[in-house]
Amino acid sequence: MPEGKKDSQVELIKNFLAFCTFIKRIGIPTAIIAFFWMYSTPAQKVKFIDIYILGFPALFEKYSSFILAIVIGIVVGQRTYFQKKGQIQEKEIQRLSQKKSEYQQQGLGTDLDHVDDGGTA
């Protein structure tokens, strides 16, 4: 494989990973708005504010409710995803702390005080 092609592929992968990190941090709806805001003309920005923030004109009323439903669905889906992810992480932290306490008890040969009262010191 030519060196230039390999470098361009590595750069493409780096850019893709940076983009994924950006999306993960700010969320999909915010990323869509940020992308639009960076690459739109001033007239498009004014129209966006008029339609989606101020709610004008009435012509777009049926479309804005559809778009609002999609955005609400995305936000609820992200919230559910991150709540489940947080619960999984919390269970893993509890499991690791329990294992650590068991190893410490085995090493000391005695019971630790904080294990008896539910894990609080």
Say how far apart CA 118 and CA 43 lie, in whole Å: 61
Rounded CA separation 78/66 (Å): 19
Asked if residue 101 is part of any domain, the answer here is yes
Q: Determine phi and psi for 54, rounding to 5 degrees.
A: -85, -20
Please check whether residue 79 lies inside any domain of the structure: yes
In a domain, 47, yes or no: no
> Cα torsion at 3, 7, 8, 9 (round to 10°)?
100
Tell me, what's the pLDDT at 46?
87
Q: Could you tell me if 112 and 104 are in contact, meaning their C-beta atoms sit under 8 angstroms apart?
A: yes
Q: How many structural domains is the chain composed of?
A: 1
Q: Is residue 27 part of a domain?
A: no
Q: Which CA distances in Å does 13 have to 8, 104, 113?
A: 9, 43, 50
Q: Is residue 99 part of a domain?
A: yes
Q: What is the pTM of this model?
A: 0.41
pLDDT of residue 93: 94
Can you give the pLDDT at residue 112? 66
Domain hosting residue 84, numbered range: 60-108
Q: Is 20 domain-assigned?
A: no
Within a domain: residue 1? Answer: no
Confidence at residue 121, expressed as pLDDT on a 0 to 100 scale: 47
Q: What is the mean pLDDT of each run of 10 residues along the chain (121 residues)?
A: 71 85 82 83 86 67 76 90 94 92 81 58 47
Residue 89 included in any domain:
yes
